[in-house]
Structure 1
Amino acid sequence: MAKPKVLISDKMDPNAAKIFEERGCDVDVITGETPEQLIARIGEYDGLAIRSSTKVTKEILDAATNLKVIGRAGIGVDNVDIPYASGKGVVVMNTPFGNSITTAEHAIALMFALARQIPEANELTQKGEWPKNGFMGVEVTGKTLGLIGAGNIGSIVASRALGLRMKVVAYDPFLTEERAVELGIEKVDLETLLSRADFITLHTPLTDQTRNILSRERLEKTKKGVRIVNCARGGLIDEAALKDLLDSGHIAGAALDVFAVEPAKDSPLFGTKNFICTPHLGASTTEAQVNVALQVAEQMADYLVNGGVTNALNMPSLSAEEAPKLRPYMKLAENLGSLVGQLAHGNLTQISIEREGAAAELAGKPLEAAVLAGFMRRYSDSVNMVNAPYLAKERGMDVRSIRHEREGAYNTLLRVTVGTDAGDRSVAGTLFGQDNARLVEIFGIGIEAELAGHMLYIVNEDAPGFIGRIGTLLGESGINIGTFHLGRRDAGGEAVLLLSVDQAIPKNVIDAACKLEGVKTVMALEF
């Protein structure tokens, strides 16, 4: 049997090639090729190992007739067309945790640079000015550090800050009180963090929920004299507002390793007093680059030689025997997790996955991972079935998998319940036939619906005329309804409407729906 053949197309630690060879793969290291050269070459390879330089486009994937796996040495995979790769049956892997220490240390380094104005002092000293009396820094000892995001990187920053004798407060919807105690930090809401923190560091992915999390309004609520560090993602901070508040002196200093638009060559922040920036260096250490190179080689070789799947972004962790039977359940589980994740709010402390009927006889771990992948996806762009359980555990979530032997109203049933400050929120689904997945209950209200594509969720008072009003609004807005599903607690009480539509629903339509008589809640959902 021929050995799997791997191409390393970007510069990475040479030990990666050795790992491929030791684990039974043939490997070529050919870097710096043009897209045309790569297209001509890629057809002979089973695996492609890359960093950020190689762009894996549709054209390259079309030419990659033997390709089985793409491995990205690092976190970001925006240089890979993942949907198209999935359609081609190509697994895409990354190494989401190899850069954690490096990024955390960069945030601490920038915090010190801000506290002691090191870049400005260095520049003037080297010009021969000796500005000894021109700089007055601040100590970090005894100061309060506010973490926005207390996951893998944020928790490392917290441990380093505690070692510096700082006080640490954190805002993170996934952080439980128990996990906060374990880390030695205080869990607070965002408003409290802004009012108390002397330094703020951000450690969250860029999602619809976190975009512009430090808006102008929130920046204005920060403690006067605060210093802000962002080594996470561009787009988390309103950069124009940050400049204005630096100019006014309300914010004493800011350090960015990331920008909303990169490469950042003409940012309005450039030249602003007390502003420091670096060109996205958070992961740029020798150790981090070695770690991610070795990790991606190990993961890819394991897949190509043994069929093992680790940190795959587009493939569940399933054996060949389990896959056919579990596949429809996996989709149902993922959609239920996504639904409750999109709808539930507040402090998310625990999640339970219950199986009864035929589902109780299936392996629980893959279904649990599928639920978590759907649930966590709104908070992390790179979440998948492999890393979702790890991310949930890291956040301190209490994950429970419950198997019921009882027989219920359905031959098979999955129920997902999330514990929040406002109480439990539960959804349930079943399979009709072998693979026809359906939602059958949402927050205690019976409703039958397929979860797919763009959907609109509405809670309203059960009263005559409402269906006509929402139908008229969508029709006048040019939005076509695909399916229409209704449920209610009782006549005249609370009702639920779940619509599938043919396009994403604009915000102005959501706002208009909120103003309709009898409406309590309106949300756009995506599956």
Structure 2
Amino acid sequence: MAKPKVLIADKMDPNAAKIFAERGCDVDVITGKTADELKAMIGPYDGLAIRSSTKVTPDILAAATNLKVIGRAGIGVDNVDIAAASAQGVVVMNTPFGNSITTAEHAIALIMALARQIPEADVSTQAGKWEKNRFMGVEVTGKTLGLIGAGNIGSIVASRALGLKMKVIAFDPFLTAERAVDIGVEKVELDELLARADFITLHTPLTDATRNILSAENLARTKPGVRIVNCARGGLIDEAALKDALVSGQVAGAALDVFATEPAKHNPLFGTPNFICTPHLGASTTEAQVNVALQVAEQMSDFLVHGGVANALNMPSLSAEEAPRLRPYMVLAERLGSLVGQLAHGNLTDISIEVEGAAAQLNMKPITGAVLSGLMQQYSQSVNMVNAPFLAKERGLDVREIRHEREGVFQTLVRVTVGTSAGNRSVAGTLFGKAEPRLVEIFGIGIEAELAGNMMYIVNDDQPGFIGRIGTLLGENDINIGTFHLGRRQTGGEAVLLLSVDHRVPEAVLQKACRLDGVRVVKALTF
């Protein structure tokens, strides 16, 4: 089996390449290429490791015909078109924890620099001035720090600020009351934070909801004399409005490590009194640079070699340890999704994935992704677990997950039900020997069958002689039967026959089977 090929397209710690090689990947380090050069060379690679310089656009993705994973050594993925990557089935990973401490420490450093006017005092002193009375600072002890965003980095900033004896309040729609208690902050709404905070620091991604969260209107709502720090993403603050607020004195000081346009060679804030800036140094420590490079190499190689998924932005996480245990369930789930997709009639409106018994104790997201992958194969030949949820959403399919702690007839069970214009259709399967997927129910009829290769599905009236007639028909057309599985609702009622055959059944033979006495439905299946 060929080794996965990885391209490191941006400069990063050389140990990253060593990790790829040690973990079974072929790796090339080729940095500084233009978009056209990258587009011309990306085709053979399974993985692409980048920092912030390389832009992964739809054009580059279209040329990356073999690409399976993009790894961003760092937090921000503004340089990756995640929607286009998802549509193409490419996993996008980042390393959210490798530079968390470094970025949090930089925010604290800027808070202290603002409080004591350190950059201005340094310039003045080195110019031979001794303007002791000019630089009157403020203490941070006892002041209120307002966090906009209390995730990983924000919570670290909170712990450091609490150590400085500050009071910390936080606005974050995803912050639970329990988590707020755990990290020692008071959860508040944005308006209250703006009105109360002596210092505001931002730690949120740039989204449509957070863009210009400190707009002119919100800056006007802040406590007069507030000091603002942003080490998160450019675009969270209206820079022109911030300049006006600094000039008016509404904002006593601001320190930015990030800008709406980078590199920031020209900016209206430059030269404004009480303004401090640094060139996106949040992650710029020796330790952080090493950490994110090693982390992205470990994550990508785990995915390419073992199937583990960590810190992915467009699919559920699946650790390398979980992957072997979940893989049989994912095979079962994909085949159930494929089966119901091939057999369901009418337009699909919704799908529910239910797990019970041993399956209910597992990470359900990969199982759901596998079901959708199997189902959506009816609509796209290039579908996988990454783009299947995207395709399902695109088609307006409502997806529900149901977990039953109970254990039924089977020690473990996965059930897939789709709603269609013709009614609900449900199939269920289990694992034999903890690893062998088996169908155990189809549309309410109990049946045991392996779903693999080419198969033939027949619904017929339960009557004597039918098995002989179908066997004769297939024999006359040189179609060899591998396995033969039967199920029925009741004696003389509706029956189901699933046959595995050596080759796909031709359409002409399917039509002949449809004309056999008692046959209701005939369909060729492929797994």
TM over 0.5: yes
- What amino acid maps onto 2:306 in structure 1? N
Counterpart selection for 1:322 from 325, 329, 332:
329
Q: CA deviation at 1:246?
A: 1.3
Matching residue of 1:38 = 38
2:76, 2:127 → 1: CA distance? Answer: 39
CA offset digits 1:199-237 (Å, max 9, x no partner): 111111222322222222322222222111111122222
Any idea what the Cα deviations from partners look like across 1:352-406, whole Å, max 9, x if unmatched? xxx999554654654468999xxxxxxxxxxx99xxxxxxxxxxxxxx9862769
Structure 2 CA distance, aligned partners of 1:110 and 1:244? 21
The aligned residue for residue 290 of structure 1 is 290
For residues 241 and 35 of structure 2, the distance between their equivalents in structure 1, rounded to whole angstroms, comes to 40
Q: Given the alignment of the two structures, is residue 205 of structure 1 paired with residue 205 of structure 2, yes or no? A: yes
Q: Distance in 2 between matches of 1:370 and 1:279?
A: 43
User: Against the structure 1 CA distance between its residues 165 and 238, is the aligned structure 2 distance closer, same or farther, given a 3 Å change threshold?
Assistant: same
Indicate the residue corresponding to 1:121 in structure 2.
Answer: 121
The CA distance in 2 between the partners of 1:158 and 1:128, in whole Å, is 38
Cα gap change, 1:71/1:116 in structure 2, threshold over 3 Å: closer, same or farther? same
Q: Structure 1: which amino acid aligns with 2:106?
A: H
CA shift in 2, pair 1:6/1:277, >3 Å? same
Is the alpha carbon distance of 1:140 and 1:367 closer, same or farther for their aligned partners in structure 2, counting shifts above 3 Å? same
What's 1:176 paired with? Answer: 176
Q: Which residue number corresponds to residue 12 of structure 2?
A: 12
Shift in Å at residue 177 of structure 1?
2.6
Alpha-carbon RMSD across the aligned residues, in angstroms, is: 3.4
1:109 aligns with 2:101: no
Which amino acid counterpart does residue 201 of structure 1 have in structure 2?
T
| Partner residue, 1:161 | 161
- Show the counterpart of 1:433: 425
Residue 70 of structure 1 aligns to a residue in which SS?
strand
Taking the aligned partners of 2:5 and 2:415, their CA distance within structure 1 comes to 43
8 Å CA contact 2:150–2:175 kept in 1: the answer is yes
Amino acid at match of 2:30: I
Once the two structures are superposed, residues 222-255 of structure 1 have per-residue CA deviations (whole angstroms, 9 ceiling, x without a partner) of 2222111111122222322222221121221111
Q: Counterparts in 2 of 1:48-127, with a 5 A limit?
A: 48-127=48-127
> Hey, what's the Cα distance between the residues in 2 that align with 1:79 and 1:95?
14
The alpha-carbon deviation at position 13 of structure 1 amounts to: 0.5
| 1:245 and 2:252 are equivalent in the alignment | no
Instruction: Quote the Cα distance in structure 2 between the aligned partners of 1:273 and 1:231.
Output: 20
Aligned equivalents of 1:126, 1:218: Cα separation in 2: 37
Inter-CA distance 311–358: structure 2 relative to 1 (3 Å threshold) = closer
Alignment of 1:51-450 (within 5 A): 51-316=51-316, 317=318, 319-323=326-330, 326=333, 358-360=354-356, 363=360, 365-367=362-364, 403=404, 432-433=424-425
* TM-score w.r.t. length of structure 1: 0.62
Q: Give the Cα separation in 2 of the matches to 1:193 and 1:111.
A: 17
Q: Supply the distance in 2 between the matched residues of 1:230 and 1:138 (Cα, whole angstroms).
A: 19
Structure 2: which 5+ runs fail to align?
338-350, 370-384, 387-400, 409-413, 418-422, 428-527
| d(CA) in 2 for partners of 1:300, 1:356 | 31
What amino acid sits opposite 2:152 in the alignment? N
Equivalent position amino acid for 1:119 in 2: P
Compute the displacement of 1:128 (Å).
1.8
**Which has the larger Rg?**
2
Give the direction of change, closer, same or farther, for the CA distance of 1:274–1:369 in structure 2 (3 Å limit).
farther
Q: For residues 419-452 of structure 1, what are the alpha-carbon distances to aligned partners after superposition, in whole Å with 9 as ceiling and x for unaligned?
A: xxxxxxxxxxxx94369xxxxxxxxxxxxxxxxx
**1:207/1:327 CA distance change after superposition, 3 Å:** farther
1:263 partner letter: P
Partner of 2:509: none
Are the aligned partners of 2:69 and 2:91 in contact in 1 as well (CA < 8 Å)? yes
Partners of 2:158 and 2:365 in 1: CA distance: 30
Aligned equivalents of 1:246, 1:211: Cα separation in 2 = 20
Question: 1:93 & 1:85 partners in 2: Cα distance?
Answer: 11
Q: Which amino acid aligns with 1:322?
A: Y
Shift of residue 302, structure 1, vs aligned partner: 1.1
Task: Measure, in 2, the Cα distance between the counterparts of 1:98 and 1:307.
Answer: 21
User: Residue type matched to 1:181 in 2?
Assistant: V
AA aligned opposite 2:163:
G
Matches of 1:264 and 1:288, distance apart in 2 = 23
- Unaligned 5+ segments in structure 1 are 331-354, 373-383, 386-399, 415-430, 436-527
Q: How far is 1:47 from its partner? A: 2.1
Alpha-carbon separation, structure 2, partners of 1:82 and 1:244:
35
Distance 2:240 2:296 in 1: 38
The C-alpha deviation readout for 1:322-367, integer Å capped at 9, x for no partner, is 346546999xxxxxxxxxxxxxxxxxxxxxxxx9995546546544
Partner of 2:18, secondary structure, is: helix
For the 8 Å contact 1:364–1:401, the answer to whether it is kept is: no
d(CA) in 1 for partners of 2:49 and 2:99? Answer: 17
Deviation, structure 1 residue 111: 0.5
Q: Percent sequence identity over matched residues?
A: 72
Contact 2:329 2:367 (C-alpha < 8 Å) held by counterparts: no
1:198 Cα offset (Å): 1.2
* 1:467-482 mapped onto 2 (5 Å cutoff): none
CA distance in 2, matches of 1:220, 1:208: 21
SS at structure 2 position matched to 1:433: strand
Contact in 2 for aligned 1:356/1:404 (Cα 8 Å): no
Taking structure 2 as the reference length, what is the TM-score of the superposition? Answer: 0.62
Instruction: State the distance in 1 between where 2:93 and 2:353 align.
Output: 35
* 8 Å CA contact retained: 1:368, 1:401: no
The amino acid across from 1:298 in the alignment is E
2:191, 2:81 → 1: CA distance? 38
